Amino acid sequence: MVETQVWRVDPDAPDLEHAPQIIAAAEKLAQGEIVAFPTETVYGLGGNAKLQDSVRKIYEAKGRPSDNPLIVHVATLEQVRDICTEIHPIAQKLIDTFWPGPLTLVLPSRGEVSNAVTAGLSTVAVRMPSHPVARALILASNLPIAAPSANRSGRPSPTRADHVFHDLDGSIAGILDGGETGVGVESTVVDCTTTPITILRPGGISKEQLIEAVGAVAEDPGLTRSDQAPKAPGMKYKHYAPEATMYLVPAGKDRISELIAFEKNNDRRIGVLTTEENRDSYPEADVVLVCGRRSEPETVAHNLFDVLRHFDQKKVDAIYSETFSEDGIGKAIMNRLSKAAGGRVIE
Beta bridge partners of 274: 290
How open is the CA angle 34-243-153, to the nearest 5 degrees?
Answer: 25
How open is the CA angle 206-208-213, to the nearest 5 degrees?
Answer: 100
Annotated binding site for L-threonine: which residue ranges?
41, 68, 73, 127, 147, 187
Annotated binding site for ATP: which residue ranges?
64, 123, 149, 157, 201, 240
**C-beta separation of 119 from 66 below 8 A:** yes
Say which amino acid occupies 5.
Answer: Q
Please give the sequence-ordered ranges of beta strands (E in DSSP) within the chain, or none if there are none. 5-8, 35-38, 43-48, 71-73, 103-108, 123-127, 145-146, 174-177, 188-191, 197-201, 217-219, 245-248, 270-274, 287-290, 318-321
- Sign of the dihedral defined by the CA atoms of residues 304, 309, 314, 316, in that order: positive
Annotated binding site: which residue ranges?
41, 64, 68, 73, 123, 127, 147, 149, 157, 187, 201, 240
User: Distance between CA 148 and CA 168 in Å, rounded?
Assistant: 13
**Per-residue exposure over 17-53, b if at least 16 CB sit within 10 Å of its own CB, e if not:** bebebbbbbbebbeebbbbbbbbbbbbbbbbbbbbee
